[in-house]
Structure 1
Amino acid sequence: MEQESLVQDSLPISSPFGATAGSTAGSFEIVPAIAALEITRRDPKLPCYSFGTKRKMEYFCGRQDVLQKMDECLLPSPNKLESEGGEQLQSFAICGLGGMGKTELAVEFAYTRKEYFEAIFWLGADNVQVLASNFANIAQQLGLEDGPQDLVASRDIVNGWLSKPMRKVVEPDIPENQVHWLIIFDNVDNLDVLYDYWPTTGRGSVLITSRDPLAKHNHLLENGQDLSPLTSTESETLMQHLTHVKADPPQREALAAILERLDGLPIVIDQMSSTFRDLRLSYIDFLRLYNEEGIVRLQTMQNFSATSDKVGSLVTLWSLKRLSIRTKELLWVISLLDPDEIPEETFFYKKGHIALSNYPKTLRDYLQARAELLSSSLIKHDAEQQKISLHRLTQETARAIMDEKQLFQAFQTAIQLVIEAWPFQSMREHHWIARFPKCETIFPSILRLKSRAEEFIRDGRDYALNIGLAKLLNDTGWYMYERGVPEELKTFAELSLKIGEQLQARGGDEEVLRTVRESHSYVGIACAESHESTLHMFHIQKWLDVLLERESTPGVPVLDYELGYAYNEIGVAYGFQNKVEEAAQAFLRSIEIFQGLSDYEETMLGWPTPNLGFMYWLQGKLEDAEHVFTEILDIHVAAWGVDDTTSFKTGKILYGMGNVLHDMGRFDESFNFHRRCLQQYKKTLGLRHERTGDICHRLAGHYIRQGAYKEAE
């Protein structure tokens, strides 16, 4: 609060009351602390069905009693709307052990009841960051947004529509204009992650799957069901269908004995049926192998304690031990990545050496290994989206059979593969949005590597001490910053810094030093967003100090792009502390360094020059500020045109120019610049980004001045 009052005291009389500072990772600007205005929503594109990689099973057996209960709870009907007041959110939880068939039951419901809903969305919910990204995508799928935007803003748009799902925005809110929708949150192991994504007023149906039996008693949910194992009749029907062998009277006794051991777990029946088909067995032969140790590890299944967990684990273990070494090493890597959907391009490595010596390195080897995994039902392949998915129980078992050396090599290989696939962005390209779609597909797997690295560090194992992983974490954190989730930048960069500092203590090379510098810069930028001004200054100053220690020749510091960028950021840090003069000097030094580079391009000034303009504005040097903003705007227009969609920095320049002209009393010119700024922000940031809200507030003031109260509203 003390800092905020200092900032306000320094503002010109005509500055917006309650102004605050904000970092760009590269920018300092004064913005009004006013919530974003509501934006009129578009009509949704209907019908809209998004099932991700989930496909309906060719054959679904059993669970008719549960499906009937789900129908009663989730399907819309006029009678239900009248009796419950027409606004009730309907919900249902499917609970049970991993491998019990929760997800398959939800898929069956969604596909077979599709006619009752005009919009269905399938969302993996075992990780809040992935859920945030996938939930935000609903806005694009419905046509409420044109492209990837700020995640929080997109979430609010989606929740707004779900709470009041109108087919036509301009038409009355009557039943004929209301849309019935269904959302499925799959694998909700922690219901806390759903609070920000739970519709507030109803109008639709929510189905969740969870291992936690308490999920159905949560206050968010109305109804639920614990899944029991399949009955003996259902198990028999399912296995005969999957094996393509009907049990005649002599075979029935053997089949019954097999199913008794399989305990009615659908995933186990599916895997065992695959083995049955591969070996061209009869039920009597299969039972003999089962009982007489005819297959490696098969005999261990006789020692289980009748718990479903043990059975499922052992059957999967048996399947894994049959794999070729090449296929096994591929599965080890898959077990460390996201189970729901891994882009297949992730598995192709083109740089030669890889930690796992037998990992499939050619397309032919990969396809053969994939075929072996598919034949054992260990993975699923979405040919249309070119993605791999698998059951979490399979992942857990694959990890369990690795010894320490194998786990280390598999983790290093997974890091190498993801680094190869990830579209890194250089410091000069910060705030360019072209890479977002590809990042989005790989991001869930990086989250898995991050969690595994944190676990290794806690256990004191050196598996995570990989400078490539540290660089990947930095760049992934920056991607999340670009998507409007700055708090994630801090968690990624802090882990990267921890890895880098440990490597540095062991005598790290220049790559390690460079990565540590980058981590300090990112942690500092993230602290700016959370208003931790002391930590912000500490990390940015640390970054700058290390850069200044470099020498091109004795006594001559290295002058490069990174140093110019660092001076820009230290200027932002000074601005946060209300040290306006020091900030202006830092921005001038940044400009000087950029202009002295051998590969200097005028667009490099897009970082410090607008920030310098804002400092002049704060000091009341309006003519100097106008000159600075005009100069950098001309540079941007020359590089990217008047309608720049490359970076939001053009919008920031337009915003600053509008502020300056406003304080000069040139209100019509100011209005035009602010209006252009809003248009540019819409193209690069989206309608609901914080910066868009700031400029909407400014424009509202212009309309009020003009007496255009309807436009202001």
Structure 2
Amino acid sequence: MRKTLHLPCLLLDRHSSNADFCGREDILERLATELLPSNHIVTDSETSLRQFALCGFGGIGKTELAREFAWRYRESFDAVFWVVADEIAKLDNHFQQISLALGLENSSECKSQVVSREVVKEWLSNPREDISAPDEFVQPGQTGPEATWLLIFDNADDPMILADYWPQGSGSILITSRDPMAKSMFTRRPLGLNLAPLSKQDSITLFNHLTSVSNEPEGDAARKITDVLGGVSLAISQMAGIIRRQELTLSEFLELYANHEEHTSLYETKFDTNLITYRHSLSTVWAFEKLKPPARQLLELVSFLDPDLIGEDLLMAASIELFSDGMQFKKSNYIEARSELLHSSLLYRDEQMQQISVHRLVQDAILTTMDNEKKELMFGQVAQILWGDWPSAMPKPSKDPELPKPKSTGGRLHVARWPVCASIYPHVLRMHQLWSSIPDLAEATNLLFAKLLSEAAWYQKERGRTKHFDGFFDTALSICESSTHADQQALLADIHFCLGAIAMDASDFDASRDHKEHSLDLVSKICKELGTEDERLYLAYAELGISRIQDKRYEEGEAHLKEALRIRKALGNYIPRSGDANLGWSLLAQGKLEECNTLLLDSLAGREKALGKDDRESVRTGLILYALGNLRAAQYEWDESFQYHQRAMCHMLATVGEKDFYTANISHKVAEHFIRLHRNEEAIAMINGALDIWSVDPAAHKNEIARTTFLKGKLFEATSKAQKASIALRVACRLRKEITKEDQDSKSLTMKDFDEIVAFWAR
């Protein structure tokens, strides 16, 4: 069915334009010439993609210029998207927000950030005003209506990370970056400019606008001040803020400023062959020493958080918690401190979204004024606040921890916690950037931070990332391995548990086994010392049982999973989970069909009793249905097998959507049924759907791609499509050779050979 998108769509970082923007009219005209759809005529030798990069040092005004262009010309585009591009995790989050805002996915489908990224790129490359439109709606010789769009990558200081987010086709892309190489990324000729400081006239215009200068003597002082600030828009804006806040005349400010002992180091510019570098005494420019103590404390706190989006609920709660000395710091103190910083142009506030933002240069500057002791104290306090708000995926530790506890525990795979995790994650990124630069952190602070990193990395796994976790696991492991803290063993067990599950999903079965064995050893030791059995021990046995089944050590897998279920049932309030399905796979592999049948039917009935038929709590019911379908196939009850697999398909679509790898698994299985029934067109549709899902992250799903491509080749072969069959089989065999190092041709291989290279629950 035709699906109309939400157009026009405006997704910017702020809900209003900057009323104080002045100057740069020549640059704005250049941007309009390069990026507006109506101003660009495509030749046969050019791509229809329009792009331009604004490069220059921090504070020169790149972001404000891009923001002004977006607001001024927003009606020239059907869609405008603002994407913060300094971290991969932020790029992923923004692309997911674009998918939701456009209506490409709804909230129930929007599970995997990797999938959302590809969905958005696909639309940007072919920006139809509606999707899934039948061909008969398009007239001959026409391609249907296309939407115009502007995509802004802000703060792309490492432009290479944009490669996975760069669309093809038509549209306009504007980049802001400190790296001048951004002008030549993804294009045959440089497209962009190195942004120079404001001209003298634009500097004076901006300064006069911000300070409301009206008489000639003050105008002369304004010229002197803007001269010494060198046309740096951020410095001009914030000096004007200080003048307003302290109610100084320009002459008074200039007199005070000229006498400052660090004035000579205010502004120094030097050039090299590739990059303009800008250095100045930031403490002089922003006069932090003039701030009242509450404002200074608030600014120090902000310097440890993500600069782009700081929720005021978090900021206010953290301020009251950190800076209360008895009854001194109250909510009213926070509001007063915030006002001082806003009036000084050190912070920006989005009143509609109740969010604060700060320039990265201001963060860097305030950090340079803090000694190591203060940095260590603040880092530890902020880590505690973020950890206290984090909804943990891991169960409650076996041993009561000495360190503070998170907001909640035991939320693994629970999608309801994702919005809270998403709001905290950017701050974890910022803390991770700072961690290596702060020496001598206390052991307890380091380990608490490692806990936060481990949880944040697992959250990224739940959102669809398979291999790259922003270095969080590496840092957490390095902290753990050098720690002697009482909580160290429990955290190490969690990290190995997470890495084991992640490696299994990525078909790295050897690494998965090693991590799971290590995790079980650690948890068993802790529980033995305590004389208890708990949720963590259950999970450790269940995960190792999965690896044993994958290794074809079915009896051991059965034993581990039965031990896991015994522990889980003893804890009370038992609801069947995926562990029951995995035990069913072990029994099925050993030919224990009756025991398998009883287990799976009881498990399905148990979930239906607790959660209702075809619940949407998680994919666990779908996994049980999947296993039942395979059991019925082993019993040659093909109709019932097909029914269970179709139910599993419906369940996966309803819980994780049409782009998830669980959906791809069952699509492959349903395709096998269609082939058996000679419903070949439907089989091809299912196969192609599965391959589309795997291909979103081909490096992580090479095994699955090889297997499903082999099935596709066999179907082509059976339907006398020799050329297509040859290509598909050749690709499948090449991929299998890369995985197994075995060189075999398609005639000597069977589906069983390809089944063995994927996780057993996908067979």
Band of TM-score, shorter chain: 0.7 to 0.9
Distance across 2 between alignment mates of 1:658 and 1:41: 33
Which of 200, 203, 208 is matched with 1:235 structurally? 203
1:197-236 correspondence to structure 2 within 5 Å? 197-200=165-168, 202-220=169-187, 223-236=191-204
1:447 aligns to 2:429 (yes or no): yes
Secondary structure at the residue paired with 1:207?
strand
1:124-163 correspondence to structure 2 within 5 Å? 124-147=84-107, 148-163=110-125
1:483 aligns to 2:463 (yes or no): yes
What is residue 700 of structure 1 aligned with on the other side?
A: 671
Partners of 1:355 and 1:409 within 8 A in 2: no
Secondary structure at the residue paired with 1:549?
helix
Change (3 A) 1:356 1:305: same
What is residue 424 of structure 1 aligned with on the other side?
A: 392
Distance across 2 between alignment mates of 1:107 and 1:410: 32
Distance across 1 between alignment mates of 2:2 and 2:523: 48
Distance across 1 between alignment mates of 2:320 and 2:244: 37
1:413 aligns to 2:413 (yes or no): no
Distance across 2 between alignment mates of 1:55 and 1:463: 45
Shift of 1:538: 2.7
1:284 aligns to 2:251 (yes or no): yes
Change (3 A) 1:89 1:654: same
Change (3 A) 1:424 1:341: same
**Which residue type is aligned with residue 383 of structure 1?**
E
What is residue 725 of structure 2 aligned with on the other side?
A: none
1:359-374 correspondence to structure 2 within 5 Å? 362-374=330-342
Distance across 1 between alignment mates of 2:604 and 2:199: 72
Shift of 1:331: 1.5
**Which residue type is aligned with residue 124 of structure 2?**
L
Partners of 1:470 and 1:500 within 8 A in 2: yes
Partners of 2:297 and 2:323 within 8 A in 1: no
Distance across 2 between alignment mates of 1:464 and 1:315: 36
User: Greater RCO between the two (CA within 8 Å, min separation 6)?
Assistant: 1
Secondary structure at the residue paired with 2:58?
coil
Distance across 1 between alignment mates of 2:98 and 2:13: 11
**Which residue type is aligned with residue 51 of structure 2?**
S
Distance across 1 between alignment mates of 2:553 and 2:6: 50
Partners of 1:360 and 1:366 within 8 A in 2: no
Secondary structure at the residue paired with 1:229?
coil
1:601 aligns to 2:573 (yes or no): yes
1:92 aligns to 2:57 (yes or no): no
1:324-403 correspondence to structure 2 within 5 Å? 324-349=292-317, 354=322, 362-403=330-371
Which of 41, 51, 70 is matched with 2:31 structurally? 70
Which of 564, 587, 591 is matched with 1:590 structurally? 564
Deviations 1:655-711 (A, max 9, x none): 222222233333332223222222222233222111111112222233333344443
Change (3 A) 1:138 1:667: farther
**Which residue type is aligned with residue 595 of structure 1?**
K
Distance across 1 between alignment mates of 2:74 and 2:321: 48
Structure 2, unaligned runs of 5 or more: 270-276, 396-409, 686-763
Distance across 2 between alignment mates of 1:485 and 1:474: 14
Point out the more displaced range, 620-629 or 121-130: 620-629
What is residue 275 of structure 1 aligned with on the other side?
A: 242
**Which residue type is aligned with residue 324 of structure 1?**
K
Deviations 1:603-623 (A, max 9, x none): 1x4142111111223334333
Shift of 1:290: 2.0
**Which residue type is aligned with residue 152 of structure 1?**
V
Distance across 1 between alignment mates of 2:281 and 2:181: 22
Shift of 1:463: 7.1
1:665 aligns to 2:633 (yes or no): no
What's the Cα RMSD here? 2.7
Shift of 1:240: 0.8
Partners of 2:477 and 2:495 within 8 A in 1: yes
Shift of 1:500: 3.1
Distance across 2 between alignment mates of 1:353 and 1:232: 45
Distance across 2 between alignment mates of 1:265 and 1:352: 35
1:101 aligns to 2:71 (yes or no): no
Distance across 2 between alignment mates of 1:485 and 1:406: 35
What is residue 709 of structure 2 aligned with on the other side?
A: none
Distance across 2 between alignment mates of 1:364 and 1:607: 51
Deviations 1:185-238 (A, max 9, x none): 0000111110110003x2111111001122112234751011111111111111
Shift of 1:462: 4.5
What is residue 682 of structure 2 aligned with on the other side?
A: 711
Secondary structure at the residue paired with 1:668?
helix
What is residue 632 of structure 1 aligned with on the other side?
A: 603
Distance across 2 between alignment mates of 1:518 and 1:563: 11
Which of 490, 501, 517 is matched with 1:541 structurally? 517
Partners of 2:295 and 2:341 within 8 A in 1: yes
Distance across 2 between alignment mates of 1:278 and 1:351: 22
Shift of 1:626: 2.6
Distance across 2 between alignment mates of 1:275 and 1:323: 9
What is residue 7 of structure 2 aligned with on the other side?
A: 46
Partners of 1:332 and 1:399 within 8 A in 2: yes
Deviations 1:8-62 (A, max 9, x none): xxxxxxxxxxxxxxxxxxxxxxxxxxxxxxxx99432211110033641113212
Point out the more displaced range, 531-540 or 257-266: 531-540
**Which residue type is aligned with residue 18 of structure 2?**
M
What is residue 593 of structure 2 aligned with on the other side?
A: 622
Distance across 2 between alignment mates of 1:348 and 1:212: 35
Which of 633, 643, 646 is matched with 1:675 structurally? 646
Distance across 2 between alignment mates of 1:350 and 1:76: 46
1:690 aligns to 2:661 (yes or no): yes
**Which residue type is aligned with residue 524 of structure 1?**
G
Secondary structure at the residue paired with 2:117?
helix
What is residue 22 of structure 1 aligned with on the other side?
A: none
Distance across 2 between alignment mates of 1:285 and 1:152: 56
Deviations 1:128-185 (A, max 9, x none): 1111121122111111111231111111111111111111331438466111111100
Secondary structure at the residue paired with 2:628?
helix
Secondary structure at the residue paired with 1:146?
coil
1:301 aligns to 2:273 (yes or no): no
Shift of 1:629: 1.8
What is residue 438 of structure 1 aligned with on the other side?
A: 420
Shift of 1:442: 1.4
What is residue 313 of structure 1 aligned with on the other side?
A: 282
What is residue 7 of structure 1 aligned with on the other side?
A: none
**Which residue type is aligned with residue 263 of structure 2?**
M
Secondary structure at the residue paired with 2:4?
coil
Secondary structure at the residue paired with 2:613?
coil
Percent identity over the alignment?
Answer: 32
Point out the more displaced range, 512-521 or 635-644: 512-521
Change (3 A) 1:312 1:681: farther
Structure 1, unaligned runs of 5 or more: 1-39
Distance across 1 between alignment mates of 2:197 and 2:343: 24
**Which residue type is aligned with residue 690 of structure 1?**
F
Secondary structure at the residue paired with 1:435?
helix
Distance across 2 between alignment mates of 1:463 and 1:382: 37
Distance across 1 between alignment mates of 2:248 and 2:359: 26
Change (3 A) 1:670 1:198: same
Partners of 1:327 and 1:370 within 8 A in 2: yes
Distance across 2 between alignment mates of 1:142 and 1:164: 14
Distance across 2 between alignment mates of 1:154 and 1:372: 40
What is residue 225 of structure 2 aligned with on the other side?
A: 258
Distance across 1 between alignment mates of 2:45 and 2:547: 54
Secondary structure at the residue paired with 1:199?
coil
Distance across 2 between alignment mates of 1:351 and 1:266: 29
Secondary structure at the residue paired with 1:602?
coil
* TM-score of the two chains, using structure 2 as the length reference: 0.81
What is residue 10 of structure 1 aligned with on the other side?
A: none
Partners of 2:54 and 2:62 within 8 A in 1: yes
Partners of 1:609 and 1:629 within 8 A in 2: yes
